[in-house]
């Protein structure tokens, strides 16, 4: 029986592992296939505190892993295939074996929804982004495009106006889903131009990154190439919670519901990071809630006869 099994090897999972390891709980981390989580997909991190010179996403995640391992966390590069939560002896099955644990920390993150168009994969992290807070500052005095019509697309677009010289918002419909206040701000902004009833057909680029975005107007099939150097996709995220369906409480979008101390609806099961946060979605907030989840797991074990 493990004291703590952590599902997910991103900033939340590795931070939970560091805290659980330093509490002498020998945590087992099941990383799944994206070792290091979403940050391992990006080249430069400028907003993780403590690294004034910025550093590569993979580098940051390697350091977090090493720090957790130094205190006894055990990394297993296994994918969880099913769980059965039973307070006292939670069972976690993976593609390689089975674990029983007194406590579980879930930190499986979320996946940005993508467009599935040519060039998107090739230039992901090199001009194609799903996070303006993360990458907006790289586009000072450059032109960028945003895809989407909800609040997050308006937020991304407005945030990008602080840096970019021009922001196109590409939306497949003729009206926005965003709240009235966000719509008004975006519609009135002098740097933002809306392309209504339009979709992205292709992301254009060369070795250095994105050089343009091919846009098609749905009614006329007219195609235009925007000379944007960045494309921000803001069409939503899907929390990685399929595994937990019917096993603990989630909100209407599938995010795990936690209380303010990272407890889920099942005793002894905690969650941290983007899997329970559709608002901030940052490495540092994921690390923070991962830390809290591990500290609550430690307390739970102490109170329930560790
Ligand atoms: C391109 C890009 C750039 C970004 N840049 C920044 C930035 O500059 N600064 C910033 O603060 N944030 C940035 N972010 C956001 C940041 O990456 C996330 O907020 C953060 O990674 C969330 O951490 P997490 O630990 O909750 O989840 P994730 O990092 O998503 O990690 C989830 C983990 O769960 C694992 N997992 C999923 N399913 C299973 C399963 N069934 N079994 C086992 N394991 C599983 C995955 O393999 C992965 O290891 C960026 C995101 C992207 C996509």
Residue 68: CATH number of its domain: 3.50.50.60
| pLDDT of amino acid 136 | 94
CA dist., res. 243 & res. 295, Å (int): 24
Decide if 134 is catalytic: yes
Taking residue 238's Cβ as centre, other Cβ atoms within 10 Å add up to 13
**Which of 216, 233, 250 is where one domain is finished?**
233
Catalytic residue among 59, 62, 131, 151: 131
The number of the ligand 1 atom at minimal distance from the alpha carbon of 34 is 47
| pLDDT of amino acid 306 | 64
Question: Same domain for 183 and 265?
Answer: no
The whole model's pTM is what? 0.87
| pLDDT of amino acid 205 | 97
Q: Which two tokens stand for residue 35?
A: 């070792």
Question: Same domain for 217 and 77?
Answer: no
**Which of 202, 233, 264 is where one domain is finished?**
233
Closest by CA to 225, choosing from 213, 217, 237, 239, is 213
| pLDDT of amino acid 152 | 86
**Which of 233, 258, 287 is where one domain is finished?**
233
Decide if 131 is catalytic: yes
Question: Same domain for 151 and 170?
Answer: yes
CA dist., res. 270 & res. 20, Å (int): 13
pLDDT < 70 stretches in the chain = 306
Question: Same domain for 105 and 241?
Answer: yes
Domain count across the chain:
2
Q: Which two tokens stand for residue 7?
A: 């599902």
Question: Same domain for 77 and 149?
Answer: no
Q: Which domain holds residue 176?
A: 114-233
| pLDDT of amino acid 198 | 98
Question: Same domain for 97 and 121?
Answer: no
Q: What is the arrangement of strands in the sheet containing 223-226, beginning at the earlier edge strand?
A: 198-206, 209-217, 223-226
Question: Same domain for 95 and 241?
Answer: yes
287 lines ligand 1 (CB under 6 A): no
Question: Same domain for 168 and 226?
Answer: yes
Catalytic residue among 135, 274, 277, 291: 135
């Amino acid at each position: 029986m493990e004291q703590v099994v952590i599902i997910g090897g991103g900033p939340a999972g590795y931070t939970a592992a560091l805290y659980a390891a330093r509490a002498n709980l020998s945590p087992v981390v099941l990383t799944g296939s994206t070792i290091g989580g979403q940050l391992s997909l990006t080249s430069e991190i400028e907003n993780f505190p403590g690294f004034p010179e910025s550093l590569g996403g993979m580098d940051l995640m390697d350091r977090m892993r090493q720090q957790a391992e130094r205190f006894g966390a055990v990394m297993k590069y296994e994918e969880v295939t099913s769980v059965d939560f039973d307070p006292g002896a939670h069972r976690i099955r993976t593609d390689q074996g089975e674990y029983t644990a007194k406590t579980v920390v879930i930190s499986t993150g979320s996946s940005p929804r993508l467009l599935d168009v040519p060039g998107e994969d090739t230039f992901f992290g090199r001009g194609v982004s799903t996070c303006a807070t993360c990458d907006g500052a790289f586009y000072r005095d450059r032109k960028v495009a945003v895809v989407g019509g909800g609040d997050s697309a308006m937020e991304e677009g407005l945030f990008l106006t602080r840096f970019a010289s021009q922001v196109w918002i590409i939306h497949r419909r003729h009206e926005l889903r965003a709240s009235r206040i966000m719509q008004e701000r975006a519609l009135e902004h002098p740097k933002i131009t809306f392309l209504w009833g339009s979709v992205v057909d292709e992301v254009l680029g060369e070795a250095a990154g994105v050089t343009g975005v091919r846009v098609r107007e749905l009614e006329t099939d007219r195609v235009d190439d925007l000379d944007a150097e960045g494309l921000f996709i803001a069409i939503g995220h899907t929390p990685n919670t399929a595994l937990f369906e019917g096993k603990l409480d989630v909100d209407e979008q599938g995010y795990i519901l936690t209380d303010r101390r990272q407890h889920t609806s099942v005793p002894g099961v905690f969650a941290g990071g983007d899997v329970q946060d559709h608002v901030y979605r940052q490495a540092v907030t994921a690390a923070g809630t991962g830390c809290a989840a591990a500290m609550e797991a430690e307390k739970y074990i102490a109170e329930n006869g560790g």
